[in-house]
Copies of this chain bind each other. A is one copy, B any other.
Amino acid sequence: MVKVGIVGGTGYTGVELLRLLAQHPQAQVAVITSRSEAGVRVDAMYPNLRGHYPDLAFSEPDVATLGACDVVFFATPHGVAHALAGDLLAAGTKVIDLSADFRLQDATEWAKWYGQPHGAPDLLPEAVYGLPEVNREAIKQARLIAVPGCYPTAAQLGLVPLLEAGLADATQLIADCKSGVSGAGRGASVGSLFSEAGESMKAYGVAGHRHLPEIRQGLRRAAGGEVGLTFVPHLTPMIRGIHATLYANVADQSVDLQALFEQRYASEPFVDVMPAGSHPETRSVRGANVCRIAVHRPQGGDLVVVLSVIDNLVKGASGQALQNMNILFGLDEQLGLSHAALLP
């Protein structure tokens, strides 16, 4: 039984961790912290958990208590894991960070996009990027895992097969991504109000979004060299879901793209390459730790269109974090993550 701690569990990735862990047969939540909600029962804040955690309340973050866990998840804004991860690792606790703190391997790049110095550059060399489909072996050995962002998960899983195979023109990639509003978190901001985000669609951050360097870093790894990427995120009037529409030039008309994708993900339990001609819907992954992908070559041209959908809170955050935990602790990778998506 893995003894689990969660730092900062009041946001959406926190409650989603709790929902998923409630079904996990080999993990138990020992502690969950929140400065603002210390003393409040988790099911008082999240009534969907009533009956599942009868004795669990938020507590003040405390390294000693957290350090007694086998693993600690950070479901926090950036900066928090920087401050605490080192102490926990020193205590022998594994760290799985859902925030952006250890996703970029270059501390300078991190500082540029997040507007503050990197708080734990010494830990960067051992931080493992937790995308199991490209990094499973490293994850097995890791102490500190950076769970990928939601957009980066959808975009990388869709483009990696083309880049690894050297088929796509890596200098002209486009990721036109659409996200549900929960991606903006549970913080009270005007832009995320029902009356602002509902019944409307807009792009945002076209000039530069923090997930751009993360996606680029992952694609570089796959391509084995520099990449040119245009990333346009859009806010979509739904709660959960990311739909990535990915464009890449693949001049080689002889390649069987469907077969390429199917082979690349043949042994991946959480990537579903759909039949040729499919259009995956985000609802087909709602609540489930799955990425569904379809690959198209419209009108037989050079431009290939990859459609990739995930639930931003599951495969794009908390589910992927548990997948990492399963790998890290030698458990069946699908443990606690095998339920079907909620449709309709």
Q: How many Å lie between the Cα of A245 and that of B188 in the bound state?
A: 28
- Number of chain copies forming the complex: 4
- Minimum C-beta distance from A117 to chain B (A): 23
A174-B303, A200-B281, A301-B228 given; A342·B48 CB < 8 A? yes
Flag if B22 contacts A339 (CB, 8 Å). yes
Query: What residue in chain B is nearest A189 (Cβ atoms)?
Result: B188
Contact A344 B206 (CB under 8 A): no
Contact partner of A181 among B46, B194, B309, CB < 8 A? B194
Of the 9-residue stretches A97-105, A107-115, A286-294, A316-324, which lies at the interface with chain B?
A286-294
A216–B200 alpha-carbon span in the complex (Å): 27
Q: A123 on the interface (CB 8 Å rule)? A: no
Partner of A245 from the list B48, B176, B296, B305 (CB cut-off 8 Å) is B176
- A interface, how many residues as a size bin? 35 or more
B282 touching A50, Cβ below 8 Å: no
Which of B178, B196, B288 is within 8 Å of A344, CB to CB?
Answer: B196
Q: Given A281-B47, A287-B342, check contact A182 B195 (CB 8 Å).
A: yes
Kindly state the separation between the CA atoms of A274 and B301 in the bound complex, as whole angstroms.
Answer: 34
Task: Assess the B202–A243 pair: CB atoms within 8 A.
Answer: yes
Q: How far is the CB of A68 from chain B (nearest CB, A)?
A: 26
Query: What distance in Å separates the Cβ of A302 from its nearest Cβ neighbour in chain B?
Result: 9
Q: Which residue of B lies closest to A300 (CB)?
A: B207
Using A339-B339, A343-B19 as known contacts, say yes or no to A188 and B193 having CB atoms under 8 A apart: yes
Q: Give Cα distance in the complex from A46 to B288, angstroms.
A: 14
Q: Which residues of A contact B (CB under 8 A)?
A: 12, 15, 18-19, 22-23, 46-52, 172, 174, 176, 178, 180-182, 186, 188-190, 192-204, 206-208, 228, 230-232, 234, 236-241, 243, 245, 247, 272, 274, 277-288, 290, 292, 296, 298-299, 301, 303, 305, 307, 309, 338-344
